[in-house]
Structure 1
Amino acid sequence: MNTLQTKAEQRLIADYYDDLARTFGQRISDEGKERIQKAFEFANSAHAGVKRKSGEPYIIHPLAVAHIVSSEIGLGATSIISAILHDVVEDTDYTLEDIENLFGEKVSKVVDGLTKLSDEITSTHDSKQATNFRKMLMTLSDDVRVILIKLADRLHNMRTLDSMQPNKQLKIAAETLYIFAPLAHRLGLYTIKTELEDLSLKYTHPETYSQILFRLHSQKERRDYLVEEFIAPIESQLKSENINFNISGRLKSVFSIWNKMQTKGVSFDEVYDLMAIRIVFNPKNNLSEKRQCFDILSIITDIYKPKPDRIRDWITIPKANGYEALHVTVMGPQGKWVEVQIRTQRMDEIAERGFAAHYKYKGDETPESELDRWLEKIREMLQNPESDALEFLDEFKMNLYSSEIIVFTPKGEMVNLPKGSTIIDFAYEIHTDLGNHCIGAKINHKLVPVSHVLQSGDQVEILTSKTQLPDISWLKFIITAKAKGKVKQAFKLDKKRHLEKGREIIEEKLKKHNIKPSSDTLKKLSSYYNLSNKDQLYAQVGMGFLELDELESILKTRRENKLAKFWTLSFGWNKKDKPEEKQFEFPKRKIDKKGTFILKENPEESNYSLAKCCQPIPGEEVLGYINSNNHVIIHKRNCPEANKLMSQQGDRIITAEWTKFKKRSYLSHIKLNGFDRVGILNEVTTIISKQNNINMRTVMFDTHDGIFEGDLYLYIHNVEDLKNLIARLMKIKGIDSVLRIESIEE
């Protein structure tokens, strides 16, 4: 009995352990259960007296993670023990040596992979988040279970995120969306991936999340009726064919609905495929699974007409994470498109629990899979000593989503590549020498350049020349981490030369503006281009990736009645005009990272500026990023750049809120389209001129074959005014859509 815990706490802990034990079943041997019990008693004693932010005893968290590992991923005793012990080394006085002595080398290695880095190990300019993640991935070389347990750990943290401070919630949610959800997807853990995405949205966009949830709930009865109407004839036909099956409706996740609304620019009501119907059947022994899946597809398309371009065969060629299924979209009752997924029970288990768990830890004799090849690519990336942690994280992110195109070698061998891959990506995928000497390719006997983007089904013959060498410009269009790594490796000997060349270019350009290349100035420039330090800045400029074309606009003095600037750099005037150098700086204001940063109408008084990448408007959901000059840059919460900053430099993220803005206006771009008719332009401009607080800068209309497109550039005070205007414009007869365009070229 632990004297540091109350009786109520002891009862709560016992209940959690009993819940965990109920998930074991026949999967865990008696010896395994004894080892798990021993690990629990050890961890409970080690964490005794420690509380989580929620006020619960700390041991509840490791037990909850172990529960996810056991019941939702289906891993064995070693993984469950590692999950129970995953915070012991980091948070208590016990060492990895103690863990190895008590529970063996395997558990010790997994726990080591799950233990975060100490501050001393992290280099000064690398993000601690990124470095921790790289270290965790290094254990992939030995044991993929580290990642699976880490995903379970993250899932429980997301489920209990309510007790964290708002800025921590933002950091953890964005990191989850940027790395952990795609990682779960890559490892085939679809259920976990979906929950991670939904929970991330709940904390990054709480209002939007609640609205979508409410709309889904309010339409439930109508949806249930449509599902019953749709599946009735299919059920009847499958039964008559003596097929042992289960059919169910699966609702699109909140995140995927929101994502479609964002990427397609549509409203909730326009997301047509909210529902998917899933048929899971028990295959007969005397026929192949693939044949039986296509038989069921034939039954469905006899009842409902299929959409020709929406049949997906993931059985002949499974996805990179092992996912197998047949998908078809058909025209259902009441003119609604419905997606139907056809799987065997085996395929369904792989889809729900993940291919990694299925074949690695159940003793299946599986030939080398796409997942194995992916893990091998990650190991190659990890062995490249040249990439820093932030660069590695970006490259790893590019490799997370499943391969989307399939191309063929001249001999007919199949190669999987990410969508958007070029001739160079393909060449390096085959062999390093082929990539290094590539001068072009032939696709279907037609000559194409090295930058040509491949399409699924292309048969590619690489053309080489002994005199050809890797070209630094290739980095502008190649997308696979392997190709990028090989090209960078070829240029690593020139790194010093690039740094020197970049330094000379920057100093020359600053000299033209009479500005000294002080560390403060270089910090501001690095921050402006989202680089970690001056060396990265020099290298990017030296290799020709940064032209510094915006230098003049970055260095201009403050302009009245314009959009707020990121910052104002120190200026030097010509000695004839001014006898001494004068400094323009934002007043330094102490920033409370835990509190909410209030955005006042005068940005210079408040020490903030608006990000150019997403152009936030007063009233929108925003957050702040504290740059190296202690200046706050305001981003929209759904800005991809903000998402990247939160996942890599989350400790610099703060929550932010607007005050009421009355004087300062912000430039916004609205795009209209619809059917042209006499007087429509006049109606649009009349509505704008009648709405208070909005001024027109530019109005451009173009008509073609009875369809018009319009671009409006308006000065507005806040997002409410913009929403009201959009609602009024949508009521004009003939207008089909009104969209706000977020990036503005001034």
Structure 2
Amino acid sequence: MMRQYELVERVQAYNPNADEQLLNKAYVYAMQKHGSQKRASGDPYFNHPLEVAAILTELKLDDASVAVGLLHDTIEDTDATRAEIDQLFGGEIGKIVDGLTKIDRLNLVSREEAQAENLRKLLLAVSQDVRVLLVKLADRLHNMRTLQYMRPDKQVRIAQETMDIYAPLAGRMGMQDMRNELEDLSFRILHPEQYAAIVERLEQLQADNREAIETITRELTERLGAEGIKTRVKARVKSPYSIFSKIERKSIALEQLSDMIGFRVIVESVEQCYRTVGLIHTTWKVVPGRFKDYISVPKHNDYRSIHTTIVGPSRQRVELQIRTEEMDQIAEFGIAAHALYKDGASANLTRIENESQAYGSLRQTISHLISGISAEDFLEYTKLELFQDQVFCFTPRGRLIALPRGATPIDFAYALHTDIGDTCVGAKINGLILPLVTQLRSGDEVEILRDQNHRPPSNWIGIAATGKARAAIRRAVRLAATQRAHALGEHVLNMMLEREGVMLDEAEAKTLAEELHIGNRRDLLIALGEGKVGSEDLGNALAKVKGIRKRRRKLDLPVADTADGWFALRATELFKFRVPGGQHGGPAAKAALAQLDFHTPVRITGEGVVPGDRLVGILQPDAPIVVYPIHSEVLAQMHDKDVAWVDVRWDLTGEEDRLFANVISMESLNKPGSLAQISSAIAACDANINNLVMRMISPDFHQMIFEIEVRDLAQLTDVLATLKRSPGLSAVQRAGAREAGMISTLEWDGNVDRSARDDER
């Protein structure tokens, strides 16, 4: 265990003006608070915060950061409080320690929700002070170094979380050495066989090429020195995980990799970087297509360097990275190399953003992620936003836009502005109009085509590659759905008010909403439009608010003498409907009601009715009751007709196992395996597919129309919900009459002879 004075000496080695009293006090306080606590390895728990502090000294961070490293687990794992930390060490340190403390797990539903909320809290704290992230990464690094003492299942979970979130975060901050170690430690747990094979190959490669490495280092140093360029050349071996990623990405064998060993050429100035490139290219043959200038166009994590590959001694490929000493420090230590806090001063966020593009970019990303996203979406978008691989594209005016690999013109449009993304209808890539699913490549010039009346469809969520684009699309889709529900709810309420011949003022509308346990009139209309409030509940609440006495008449309609007896419908309530002229129940409707008796036949329409659907019967003189589902388009056409409306209910006694046909439709991304994906999702809900129609609606999308068999509305809802969660699908819904007509007849008379249908197949 590192002693107190040794820690102080480590800090004073790079900061002679270190606050020795602060470090000593934090050391003693943390040691006393953790007391006799033990880690899974059996070591004293205090070893962990001490090692975290040691990692922070390797990054040469300020006194406050090192003190936080010692204190970071005190609030979470001991009886220490935020108020006590503030009092002893100041509000600045207390705020950072609190930002590193996990939230109370008891209030959360699932591990995923806990993970998302803890990450959300961490990122919010990071956006206010980058030292929160630096301490958290040091904490995670030491935990990964000692992960072998945990249960195997916990090792896998922590390693996957590190690979998904913390390693990319380190990369986003330009801390490449830490990222490599986090990835390699995770890789060893997640893929032990592949890890062992690559490590063995690297050791063999280094042994076999020791002489070649020395030769290349000497020749580069001598050639550049002869031209007056003082240089430092160092060989470096790629990390096991970066090699594994390249093998996976390019689908090649380990033996085919030619750049597992590379060289860093460190010179004194930017001007010498470009002189060095010229000298190297005129001395050795260059491998075409392997030149990248990250000095002119830095990566978003502040990485700057020139990459080139030459054919060196023994005709082997040699990868070179040419940079200055400052660039090399930033490439290895990232934001920690900016010396942001080394003067011991408090954080200055403006200064940080000016010095570090990486931190400014991360704060911008966090602002996109934090607001209005569910736990599940937050984890997904965070992972998308943190991945490092990039393509660089340009607007027609030359503005550079950095996007993740796999990005499309949709991502490009949203990177420019949310309004541009929302109104995007197409794109020109290098002057050619291409589909919006086209993946962009570095150097592409992209022009977005817009229509101010357009709104993004939900299937774009499966196409977009950036968290910002997906979040914006989800918000736009949600807003459009809310607006549609509001308009529909307003229509439903107005119909009810017309039927009862009453009006509502603002106060009564608020009372009506409260009667239904809803906050206000707007939320009531949305709930009505979404079907969360039924017409019966609305009618009862309206009667109470307006003092209307509802008149009801109950009767049963046996239907055994009709072909529709299979549905066993029971009519339970009658009410009149307003007709032209402002009278309740015109002459024809009254005549029809007068004729209603126990032998009135019932006919049900073929609009995909399933048990659980709200049903409405339309009664006309000398005609059967025609039953429609509440969502039927025909009912809207009946609004101004002189007919009586009969509210009917399902009664399936003895018919509980009966299956009912229903037609659903969706839009699917045109890609291999999409039909199999949909079929599997339907089968997973224990539903059966009877028939299928497909039609192309654009080069990128197909419309899929399925006739399926379900037991009831609950099972149908489960099918629709499962399909909506499937990637690449959008506009998942029950089919309208037009779509249903593409699979079967528009209308049938209730009881369908199942054996006859089976014979027809």
Normalised-by-shorter TM-score class: 0.5 to 0.7
| Equivalent position of 2:511 in the other structure | none
1:266 deviation in Å? 3.2
1:226 deviation in Å? 1.5
Task: Give the partner amino acid of 2:50.
Answer: L
Kept after mapping to 2: 8 A contact 1:233/1:303 = no
1:473 deviation in Å? 2.5
Identity %: 36
Structure 2: how far apart are the matches of 1:290 and 1:18?
A: 41
Structure 2: how far apart are the matches of 1:515 and 1:273?
A: 64
**Larger mean Cα displacement after TM superposition, 145-154 or 474-483:** 474-483
1:219 deviation in Å? 3.7
Secondary structure class of the residue paired with 2:11: coil
Task: Give the partner amino acid of 1:20.
Answer: L
| Equivalent position of 1:143 in the other structure | 129
Secondary structure class of the residue paired with 1:550: helix
Query: Of the candidates 460, 466, 473, which is equivalent to residue 487 of structure 1?
Result: 473
**Larger mean Cα displacement after TM superposition, 296-305 or 315-324:** 296-305
Kept after mapping to 1: 8 A contact 2:229/2:272 = no
Structure 2: how far apart are the matches of 1:64 and 1:408?
A: 45
1:381 deviation in Å? 2.5
Is the aligned partner of 1:217 residue 2:203? yes
1:555-581 Cα offsets, whole Å, 9 max, x none, are 679xxxxxxxxxxxxxx999xxxxxxx
1:461 deviation in Å? 3.3
Kept after mapping to 1: 8 A contact 2:338/2:356 = no
**Alpha carbons of 1:515 and 1:259: their partners in 2 closer, same or farther (altered >3 Å)?**
farther
1:290-340 Cα offsets, whole Å, 9 max, x none, are 321011112222332111100111101111100111111111222321101
Structure 2: how far apart are the matches of 1:380 and 1:248?
A: 40
**Alpha carbons of 1:502 and 1:550: their partners in 2 closer, same or farther (altered >3 Å)?**
farther
Query: Of the candidates 97, 103, 121, which is equivalent to residue 107 of structure 2?
Result: 121
Kept after mapping to 2: 8 A contact 1:74/1:353 = no
**Alpha carbons of 1:358 and 1:483: their partners in 2 closer, same or farther (altered >3 Å)?**
same
Query: Of the candidates 554, 559, 569, which is equivalent to residue 684 of structure 2?
Result: 554
| Equivalent position of 1:47 in the other structure | 34
Query: Of the candidates 276, 281, 289, which is equivalent to residue 262 of structure 2?
Result: 276
| Equivalent position of 1:316 in the other structure | 296
Query: Of the candidates 370, 373, 380, which is equivalent to residue 367 of structure 2?
Result: 380
Kept after mapping to 2: 8 A contact 1:319/1:403 = no
1:221 deviation in Å? 2.6
| Equivalent position of 2:156 in the other structure | 170
Q: How do residues 619-698 of structure 1 correspond to structure 2 at under 5 angstroms?
A: none
| Equivalent position of 1:260 in the other structure | 246
Task: Give the partner amino acid of 1:434.
Answer: I
Task: Give the partner amino acid of 1:47.
Answer: H
Kept after mapping to 2: 8 A contact 1:323/1:355 = no
Q: How do residues 41-440 of structure 1 correspond to structure 2 at under 5 angstroms?
A: 41-71=28-58, 73-124=59-110, 126-281=112-267, 283=268, 289-355=269-335, 357-358=337-338, 360-361=340-341, 367=354, 370-385=357-372, 387-402=373-388, 404-440=390-426
Kept after mapping to 2: 8 A contact 1:194/1:253 = yes
1:403 deviation in Å? 6.2
| Equivalent position of 1:38 in the other structure | 25
Task: Give the partner amino acid of 1:393.
Answer: L
Structure 2: how far apart are the matches of 1:253 and 1:380?
A: 32
Kept after mapping to 2: 8 A contact 1:138/1:382 = no
Kept after mapping to 2: 8 A contact 1:110/1:143 = yes
Task: Give the partner amino acid of 1:33.
Answer: E
Task: Give the partner amino acid of 1:150.
Answer: K
Structure 1: how far apart are the matches of 2:306 and 2:383?
A: 27
1:354 deviation in Å? 0.7
1:41 deviation in Å? 0.8
Kept after mapping to 2: 8 A contact 1:307/1:330 = yes
Kept after mapping to 2: 8 A contact 1:27/1:76 = no
Q: How do residues 698-737 of structure 1 correspond to structure 2 at under 5 angstroms?
A: none
1:27 deviation in Å? 3.9
Structure 2: how far apart are the matches of 1:421 and 1:265?
A: 21
1:438-464 Cα offsets, whole Å, 9 max, x none, are 222344444445444433333333332
**Alpha carbons of 1:236 and 1:103: their partners in 2 closer, same or farther (altered >3 Å)?**
same
1:87 deviation in Å? 0.2
Structure 1: how far apart are the matches of 2:458 and 2:23?
A: 53
1:369 deviation in Å? 5.1
Kept after mapping to 2: 8 A contact 1:319/1:402 = no
**Alpha carbons of 1:516 and 1:221: their partners in 2 closer, same or farther (altered >3 Å)?**
farther
1:237 deviation in Å? 1.1
Instruction: Give structure 2 stretches of 5+ with no counterpart.
Output: 344-350, 486-525, 533-607, 614-663, 688-708, 712-726, 728-761
Structure 1: how far apart are the matches of 2:206 and 2:447?
A: 53
Structure 1: how far apart are the matches of 2:57 and 2:246?
A: 33
Structure 2: how far apart are the matches of 1:409 and 1:132?
A: 38
1:109 deviation in Å? 1.2
Q: How do residues 436-455 of structure 1 correspond to structure 2 at under 5 angstroms?
A: 436-455=422-441
| Equivalent position of 1:535 in the other structure | none
Larger radius of gyration between Structure 1 and Structure 2: 2
Number of residue pairs matched by the alignment: 514
Structure 2: how far apart are the matches of 1:115 and 1:405?
A: 36
Secondary structure class of the residue paired with 2:200: helix
**Alpha carbons of 1:551 and 1:170: their partners in 2 closer, same or farther (altered >3 Å)?**
closer
**Alpha carbons of 1:401 and 1:556: their partners in 2 closer, same or farther (altered >3 Å)?**
closer
Structure 1: how far apart are the matches of 2:531 and 2:248?
A: 38
**Alpha carbons of 1:340 and 1:52: their partners in 2 closer, same or farther (altered >3 Å)?**
same
1:379 deviation in Å? 2.8
Secondary structure class of the residue paired with 1:338: strand
Structure 1: how far apart are the matches of 2:353 and 2:683?
A: 59
| Equivalent position of 1:22 in the other structure | 9
Structure 2: how far apart are the matches of 1:265 and 1:410?
A: 35
Structure 1: how far apart are the matches of 2:531 and 2:170?
A: 40
Task: Give the partner amino acid of 2:374.
Answer: D
Q: How do residues 472-511 of structure 1 correspond to structure 2 at under 5 angstroms?
A: 472-493=458-479
1:349 deviation in Å? 0.6
Task: Give the partner amino acid of 1:262.
Answer: E
**Larger mean Cα displacement after TM superposition, 308-317 or 207-216:** 207-216
Secondary structure class of the residue paired with 1:23: helix
| Equivalent position of 1:650 in the other structure | none
**Larger mean Cα displacement after TM superposition, 398-407 or 109-118:** 398-407
Kept after mapping to 1: 8 A contact 2:130/2:359 = no
**Larger mean Cα displacement after TM superposition, 147-156 or 115-124:** 115-124
**Alpha carbons of 1:495 and 1:74: their partners in 2 closer, same or farther (altered >3 Å)?**
farther
Structure 2: how far apart are the matches of 1:190 and 1:477?
A: 30
Structure 2: how far apart are the matches of 1:481 and 1:169?
A: 28
Kept after mapping to 1: 8 A contact 2:18/2:63 = no
Structure 2: how far apart are the matches of 1:219 and 1:416?
A: 35
1:212 deviation in Å? 2.6
**Alpha carbons of 1:422 and 1:403: their partners in 2 closer, same or farther (altered >3 Å)?**
same
RMSD: 3.5
Bigger RCO (CA 8 Å, 6+ sep): 1
